[in-house]
Amino acid sequence: MVVSIIIFLLIFSILVVCHEFGHYIVAKKNGIHATEFFVGIGPKIIKWTRNDTEFSIRALPFGGACVFDGLDELEEGVELKDGSFLKASVWARIATTLAGPVFNIFLAYICGVILASTSGVTIPEIQEIIENSGAEEAGLRPGDIITEINGHSIHLAEEVSFSSYYSQGEEMTICIERDGKEIEYKVTPKFDTEDNRYYIGIINGRKIDCSAGQSLKYGFYNVEYILRATIDGIKMLFTGQVGKDDLAGPVGIVKVVDETYTVAKEYGVLNTVLSMVNIMMLLSANLAVMNLLPIPGLDGGRLLFLIIELIRRKPIPRDKEGYVTLVGMALLLGLVVFVFFNDIMKFFH
């Protein structure tokens, strides 16, 4: 478990550095001055200064930040100096705010390309049809390649599994490719009382190796799938299709890392590294989506204020934005505490 915790902290630190570097480099291009860039929290272990920005690594490897000049200036009427975040144009501030999540998506894409080029991908080709299933009744056959489900393009077998797993029994429109022809079927999943979920009724997926060009393409499909699955997961959380036990915080993620590491290490160093790259891809894409939620205290919350500023053609009063952000951060902290204790309680079930 100690090794797994170290791996998790290393992955998390990479995600934070990537995210904050996105903010930093785009801010710098737009003339916004960063006063500090740090990784971790607590006392500074190492620090250095470059281009009037203090860089530091702190004692506890949790989180990090890029601090911009004037970002937390709440008092109205105070003259902002050149290089201040609030003095920059609204489009420069939007670009700087978006850069963190965008860099996380790019990191996820790099991980996806690495995985596709080294491990290949699993395409959505049906291998077997389960007897008396919705798939059999609809007319699907082994060898069919699924290309679309309910209007969403399908490129990976995992996308089919995700659509099936969270099905509530509603009829699904599935498009397949057979002998070079596109055919559309209506499939009604059937409920399995033993597993307490609905199944389409197929054994799906064929592993293929990827050329350099295919790796670039499937790297994109990997990230597209994770982003869509994360967004759909958030929607299902609010609609009650998934519950609190489906949430995972740091403790839950460490558990996943530990289980993955325990299995992967039996197959050698390369397999272990690629398994951790897969986890990094998942977490980086998830971090991007979560940061873009329109909640004060997150990048999405700041973007919301900036969009309102664009519409109003004047900024929201700094003190009001500050108060709303403070409330948002308090709610986020409450959510973090809830998820943390929820993770702990799972160990006792």
Q: With beta carbons less than 8 A apart as the criterion, state whether 130 and 136 touch.
A: yes
Residue 321 designated active-site: no
Q: Tell me the sheet residues that pair with 99.
A: none
- The CA-based angle 78-98-12, given to 5 degrees, is 105
Q: With beta carbons less than 8 A apart as the criterion, state whether 39 and 61 touch.
A: yes
AA identity, residue 100: G
> What DSSP element (H or E) covers 78?
none
Number of helices followed by number of strands (H, E) in the chain: 9, 10
Q: Which of 20, 125, 224, 321 is catalytic?
A: 20
> What is the rounded distance in angstroms from the CA atom of residue 151 to the CA atom of residue 2?
44
Alpha helices in 194-347 (DSSP H): 212-239, 250-264, 269-291, 299-312, 318-346
Q: Which residues of 334-347 are buried (b: 16+ CB within 10 A; e: fewer)?
A: eeeeebeebbeeee
Neighbours of 137 (CB within 10 A): 15
CA-CA-CA-CA dihedral for 257, 262, 266, 268, to nearest 10: 30
> What is the rounded distance in angstroms from the CA atom of residue 262 to the CA atom of residue 118?
21
> What DSSP element (H or E) covers 152?
strand 152-153
Q: With beta carbons less than 8 A apart as the criterion, state whether 122 and 159 touch.
A: no
Residues annotated as catalytic are: 20
